[in-house]
Homo-oligomer: A and B are copies of this chain.
Amino acid sequence: MKAYVLIKTAGGKEDEVLRRLLSLSTVEEAHKVFGQYDIVAEVRGRDMETIVEIVTARIRKIDGLLDTHTLLVVDPEIDMASSSLAS
């Protein structure tokens, strides 16, 4: 399964948060962006439990991170397939 995590950081903490995100093996990509958020991270995990664990126990605990908005991918055929394999 996959999720996009839209992140706001404290001013000037973007590079530090980005480095911490990229050090996590479950974060496939993470980029600084312009717009209403400061960073987008792409997270991939075997199942929902893994995604939840990454977002709440790892990402949201990074120092300097202020706010997250997680967009969980819910394509029935593609991502759900990997989810049913896992069960």
State the A residues within 8 Å of B (CB): 2-4, 6, 8, 11-12, 14-15, 18, 31-38, 40, 48-49, 52-53, 55-57, 60-62, 65-76, 78-80, 83-84, 86-87
Contact = CB atoms under 8 A, between A and B. Distances in A.
Number of copies: 8
A60 to B, nearest CB: 4
Given A31-B74, A36-B36, 6 more contacts: A4-B4, A33-B71, A34-B52, A36-B69, A38-B68, A49-B76
A35 B71 CA distance: 5
B34 A53 contact: no
16 contacts: A4-B4, A4-B33, A6-B71, A11-B61, A11-B68, A12-B56, A12-B61, A15-B56, A31-B79, A34-B70, A34-B71, A35-B35, A35-B70, A40-B73, A52-B80, A53-B76
